[in-house]
Structure 1
């Protein structure tokens, strides 16, 4: 069986009102400032950075991840306001959560031992957030972007009931599977 590498990542991808609000903010950034890179994926909280995996083994990947996520129960996260990483990333802030930290740490161990994936620096320095603008953010215009976003409000309680596996398809990230957490 030949290797067919594909790109994947694992994230919490809210649906409904939270997804709609975040997408609306991303669209606003595109319309007002031509900052559009964040629109290449649904609004999400990354819990395992993008990795390459043999596409021919995708069903096996889903099976292994399914067994892993079977041991976790649903929990709630609070989105509150905005923050930034320097002058390059603007995001919706996620309030600290022990449940999320435990899930992310366990997932990293599992990915390293069971899937033989490399731990990225950002996997180790986990800072949960939901990106609104990055990559095509121009540092010289950052203050304008920040002032615009900071004038908005974003407050939502997110019941985390599943974890998503996303795959890069034709330049966009698409949810290909959702792993349901126990109630």
Structure 2
């Protein structure tokens, strides 16, 4: 049976903890728990299925890709929404972030045949989800009133690519691949 993976950039643990508190608030106040099933992250390659026997090939390929990259500066600023079901921490769309996402998707398609058709045909919208899927419309409206103008800002460097694995209930960090450092 194939395993389900996705590839992301994760903030430092202290920032993950702050964002997880926001996710927990959304679960407690707005009955949206789905975002708690993964660590805070910026998706670069959406979920895909992979043969368990071929995981070493996937990991070696991601290691090779990561070793050609330098750390990526990230700025999280305020909140955004994909109405009427998703609230997220806004990620500034920097040239470095766009480049690594485009390059990774092209690399995965060329080297491993991993393609996400929907992502290929729409612009990259980096974000860190705090409430989604199970957020009901009436709760979305209430939550958006709270978050729409709430200030939030974090700046950091991401020094590795992260491969996450679904265990049937939630997403977990499987392997981290360090970027090139000077």
TM range (shorter): over 0.9
The root-mean-square deviation of aligned C-alpha atoms, in Å, is: 1.3
- Deviation (angstroms), 1:151: 5.4
TM (normalized to structure 2)? Answer: 0.94
- Deviation (angstroms), 1:69: 1.3
TM (normalized to structure 1)? Answer: 0.93
Q: Which residue of 2 aligns with 1:118?
A: 115
Q: Which residue of 2 aligns with 1:182?
A: 180
For the 8 Å contact 1:49–1:123, the answer to whether it is kept is no
Which region of structure 1 is more displaced relative to structure 2, 136-145 or 4-13? 136-145
CA–CA distance in structure 1, aligned partners of residues 92 and 149 of structure 2: 19
- Deviation (angstroms), 1:121: 1.4
CA–CA distance in structure 2, aligned partners of residues 29 and 123 of structure 1: 30
State how 1:12-161 maps to structure 2 within 5 Å.
Answer: 12-124=9-121, 125-150=123-148, 152-161=150-159
Q: Which runs of 5+ in 1 are unaligned?
A: none
CA–CA distance in structure 2, aligned partners of residues 174 and 15 of structure 1: 15
For the 8 Å contact 1:37–1:136, the answer to whether it is kept is yes
- Deviation (angstroms), 1:152: 3.5
For the 8 Å contact 2:31–2:135, the answer to whether it is kept is no
Structure 1 outlier segments of 4+, above 3 Å: none
Q: What secondary structure sits across from 1:35 in the alignment?
A: coil
CA–CA distance in structure 2, aligned partners of residues 134 and 119 of structure 1: 20
State how 1:162-181 maps to structure 2 within 5 Å.
Answer: 162-181=160-179
CA–CA distance in structure 2, aligned partners of residues 16 and 70 of structure 1: 22
Q: Which runs of 5+ in 2 are unaligned?
A: none
For the 8 Å contact 2:79–2:149, the answer to whether it is kept is no
Deviations 1:36-87 (A, max 9, x none): 0000000000000000000121122101110011111012111000011121
